[in-house]
């Protein structure tokens, strides 16, 4: 009996989720810029994942015989100072930035959402303490804070993830806390409290489903900032280590030879720019479609 009830409940929940997912997708597809954004992001993810299959050469193999080649022949985009294939390096280059950025953003948003939920749930001095501590972290400029973390802990990918989580969790918490605060005084929360529900149930079943839109938009927006930040770190020499193919690093390595092999700098710049523009458009589109979704519910 109990298991049967649970399974029908899950089915109900899933179909509801799918239905609202389809609704959001439809409204995204109606907007040209949002569609373009999602296409760009998905394209970048596919290229990074499929790089080993589609890249013409090895991204880290030096070739002293073919240094600083212009595009043509076996090198569609030419080669850099060490004779490495620029197209292959650019295709592989998204892997580091995307993996580190998405992991870091996901962790920051997850952690921020949980902290925000707890702050909103307990209120009072717990909320005060959390808000004050996070405000003081927010007061430190992002790139400076990251440089401090990287200098202390070295520059492995996990250190970058840690640095991004430290820097961005505060911002996420502020936004999500405000959204959660709107939900907390609603009567269905009071009903749950009076039933004697615990903090986990109230946050996961009553609060978070109602602020999921805010969290998703927050994720998409932060992701675009984090990609740029991680690439900046690589450019400054604190992110990806040579010879790892990475856009920020590639720009740093090849900018002095811009006049000789311009594509060695331009290709990673174009890739990075399209990814960030794509993420921004997607975030805007998501925010709008979720907003419209909400308006429809209010109007019935």
Partner 1 sequence: MTATQSEHLAIDIQNLDVAYMAGTRQVNVLQGVNLALRPGEVLGLVGESGSGKSTLAGILLASLRTSSFIARGTVHVAGADVFKLKGKGLRDFRASQVALVPQNAGAALTPTMRIADQLAEAFRSDDASTATRAARRSRAIELLRLVRLPNPAAALDKYPHQFSGGQQQRIGIAMALAARPAILVLDEPTTGLDVVTQAAILDTLSRLHAELGMAMVLVSHDLGVIDKMCTHVAVLRQGKVVESGPTKDVLAHPSHPYTRGLLASVPRINAPGIPPSLDDAVIDAYERGETLPAAESAVYERTAPVGTPPVLTVRGLTVDYNRKPHGAPTVLDVDLDVHAGEIVALVGESGSGKSTIANVIAGLQGTKAGVLTLDGETELAATVPRRAKAVRRAIQIIFQNADTSLNPRQTVRDAVNRPLRLFGIRGSSVEAALADVDLPGSFAQRLPGQLSGGQRQRVGIARAVAAGPSLVLADEIVSALDVSVQSSILRLMDRLAREKDLGFLFITHDLAVVRAIADRVVVLYLGRIVEEGTVDEIFGSISHPYTRLLLDAVIELGDDHASAPAPGQDEVPDGPPEQGCPFASRCPLVMDVCRTVRPPVVPVSATHSIRCHAPLNNLRLDLAESATGLV
Residues 127-186 that bind partner 1 (CB under 8 A): 186
Binding mask 195-214 for partner 1 (x = CB under 8 A): xxx-------xx--xx-x--
Residue with tokens 């990475």: 246
Annotate 61-86 with b (16+ C-beta within 10 A) or e (fewer): eebeebeebeeeeebebbbbebbbbb
Token representation of residue 238: 């604190």
Nearest-CA neighbor of 96 among 298, 252, 272? 272
Q: How far apart are CA 185 and CA 164, in angstroms?
A: 32
The answer to whether 122 contacts partner 1 (rule: CB under 8 A) is no
Q: Which stretch binds partner 1 (CB under 8 A): 7-15, 46-54, 55-63, 66-74?
A: 7-15
> Is residue 30 close enough to count as binding partner 1 by CB under 8 A?
no
- In the bound state with partner 1, the residue whose beta carbon lies nearer, of 53 and 200, is 200
Contact, 146 vs 100, CB < 8 A? Answer: no
Does residue 123 bind partner 1 (CB under 8 A)? no
Region from 79-87, 169-177, 188-196, 248-256 binding partner 1, contact rule CB under 8 A? 188-196
Of the pair 52, 123, the CB lying nearest partner 1 is at 123
The minimum distance between CB 210 and partner 1, in angstroms, equals: 6
CB closer to partner 1, 16 vs 154:
16
Residue 3 binds partner 1, judged by CB under 8 A: no
Of 22-30, 94-102, 154-162, 187-195: span binding partner 1 (CB under 8 A): 187-195
Return the residue matching tokens 């580091």. 96
Helices (H), 123-202: 124-138, 142-153, 157-183, 187-195, 199-201
Q: How far is the CB of 122 from partner 1 (least distance, A)?
A: 13
Question: Do 48 and 95 contact (CB within 8 A), yes or no?
Answer: yes
Residue 5 or 124: the one with the smaller Cβ distance to partner 1 is 5
Contact between 124 and partner 1 (CB under 8 A)?
no
Q: How far is C-alpha 252 from the geometric centre of its chain's CA atoms?
A: 23
Name which of 80 and 206 has its Cβ closer to partner 1.
206
Handedness of CA 195, 197, 202, 206 (dihedral sign): negative
Q: Based on CB atoms, which residue is closest to partner 1, 73 or 187?
A: 187
Contact 12, 18 (CB under 8 A): no
**Contacts with partner 1, residue ranges (CB under 8 A):** 1-2, 5, 8-9, 12-13, 16, 186-188, 190-191, 193-197, 205-206, 209-210, 212, 297-298, 300
């Amino acid at each position: 009996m109990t298991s049967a009830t649970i399974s029908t409940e899950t089915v109900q929940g899933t179909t509801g989720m799918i239905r609202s997912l389809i609704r959001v997708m439809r409204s995204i597809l109606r907007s040209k810029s949002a569609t373009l954004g999602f296409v760009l992001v998905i394209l970048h993810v596919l290229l990074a994942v499929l790089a080993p299959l589609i890249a013409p050469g090895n991204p880290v193999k030096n070739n002293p015989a073919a240094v600083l080649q212009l595009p043509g022949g076996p090198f569609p985009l030419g080669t850099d100072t060490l004779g490495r294939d620029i197209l292959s390096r650019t295709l592989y280059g998204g892997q580091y930035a995307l993996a580190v950025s998405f992991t870091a953003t996901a962790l920051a948003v997850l952690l921020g959402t949980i902290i925000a939920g707890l702050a909103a749930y307990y209120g009072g001095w717990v909320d005060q303490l959390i808000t004050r501590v996070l405000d003081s972290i927010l007061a430190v400029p992002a790139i400076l804070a990251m440089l401090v973390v990287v200098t202390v802990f070295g520059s492995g990918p996990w250190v970058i993830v840690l640095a991004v989580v430290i820097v961005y969790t505060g911002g996420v918490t502020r936004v999500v806390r405000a959204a959660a605060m709107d939900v907390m005084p609603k009567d269905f929360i009071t009903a749950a409290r009076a039933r004697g529900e615990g903090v986990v149930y109230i946050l996961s079943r009553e609060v978070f489903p109602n602020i999921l839109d805010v969290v998703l938009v927050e994720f998409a927006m932060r992701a675009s900032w984090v990609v740029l930040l991680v690439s900046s770190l690589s450019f400054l020499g604190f992110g990806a280590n040579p010879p790892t193919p990475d856009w920020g690093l590639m720009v740093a390595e090849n900018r002095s030879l811009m006049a000789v092999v311009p594509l060695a700098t331009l290709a990673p710049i174009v890739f990075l720019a399209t990814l960030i523009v794509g993420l921004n458009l997607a975030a805007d589109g998501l925010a709008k479609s979720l907003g419209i979704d909400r308006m429809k519910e209010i109007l019935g």
